[in-house]
Amino acid sequence: EAGVAQSPRYKIIEKRQSVAFWCNPISGHATLYWYQQILGQGPKLLIQFQNNGVVDDSQLPKDRFSAERLKGVDSTLKIQPAKLEDSAVYLCASSLSGYGYTFGSGTRLTVV
Amino acid sequence: ELKVEQNPLFLSMQEGKNYTIYCNYSTTSDRLYWYRQDPGKSLESLFVLLSNGAVKQEGRLMASLDTKARLSTLHITAAVHDLSATYFCAVVDTDKLIFGTGTRLQVFP
């Protein structure tokens, strides 16, 4: 079974620039999550999708972050404009009916 | 809002010693996960605990769950250097994982 694919692995941008991350979940997994992990902390949920609908985006800074999940499969997370405090690893995860969460390798974002 | 706390945050232990990591959470949940994370890597699932009194063991690691006390423990027996990593507990809240702060474990000779 293929895992959760994320790209790019690393990204360095200047503050106020925009950036986008891509995630392809495990085939058949209806639920997709984006987490932000700041160095030295536990992952924090940004947004949860069920198929292509948003279930929970209460922790997403909507003034600069946006996410979509087209056709209930792939998802993109965008930051515009980026701030220094957005430097983190962005993890994508998927699950089947809320059991068996599988995480991707993550995208490490550095904002300078 | 569900909150998850782990202690200790950092653990330095000698090879061969035993120790326990604690995970407390604030509201009822029916599922708890333990993950391992190596530096620069993603999260590796270790255990899922589904019911009160559940105990799971894999090698030198044993996890348990007390849903009444809202407490899970990860016990390390006779630590070896390969166990050095950061360990997270995560509690399920309406199908999403809420993570603890993590325990960074360092095992030295």
Cα–Cα distance measured from residue B90 to residue B96, given in angstroms and rounded to the nearest whole number: 9
The domains of chain A, with CATH numbers, are: 5-111 (2.60.40.10)
Q: Name the residue among B17, B54, B9 with its Cα closest to residue A41.
A: B9
Distance in Å, alpha carbon of B44 to nearest chain A alpha carbon:
8
Q: pLDDT, tens digit, for every residue of B6-31? A: 999 999 999 999 999 999 999 988 89
Query: What residues in B contact A91, CB-CB < 8 Å?
Result: 42-43
What is the sign, positive or negative, of the torsion defined by CA atoms of A48, A51, A55, A60?
A: positive
Q: Is the pLDDT of residue A84 over 70?
A: yes
Q: Do B41 and A105 touch (CB under 8 A)?
A: yes
CB proximity B98 to A under 8 Å: yes
> By residue range, what is the domain housing residue B39?
4-108
pLDDT value of position A99: 76
Q: Is the pLDDT of residue A23 over 80?
A: yes
Count of domains in chain B?
1
The lowest-confidence range among A48-62, A87-101, B68-82 is A87-101
Interface of B with A in 12-41 (CB under 8 A): 31, 33, 40-41
Cα–Cα distance measured from residue A25 to residue A3, given in angstroms and rounded to the nearest whole number: 7
Q: Name the residue among A78, A83, A96, A91 with its Cα closest to residue A33.
A: A91
The answer to whether B34 touches B57, Cβ cutoff 8 Å, is no
pLDDT value of position A70: 83
Q: Is the pLDDT of residue A69 over 80?
A: yes
| Average predicted confidence (pLDDT) for chain B | 94
Local confidence band at A1 (pLDDT 50, 70, 90 cut-offs)? low
What is the sign, positive or negative, of the torsion defined by CA atoms of B108, B103, B56, B67?
A: positive
Q: pLDDT, tens digit, for every residue of B73-84? A: 999 999 999 999
Backbone phi, then psi, for A72, in 5-degree steps? 70, 20
pLDDT value of position A52: 85
| Amino acid in the structure at residue B79 | A
CATH number, residue B103: 2.60.40.10
Q: Do B42 and A106 touch (CB under 8 A)?
A: yes
Backbone phi, then psi, for A84, in 5-degree steps? -55, -40
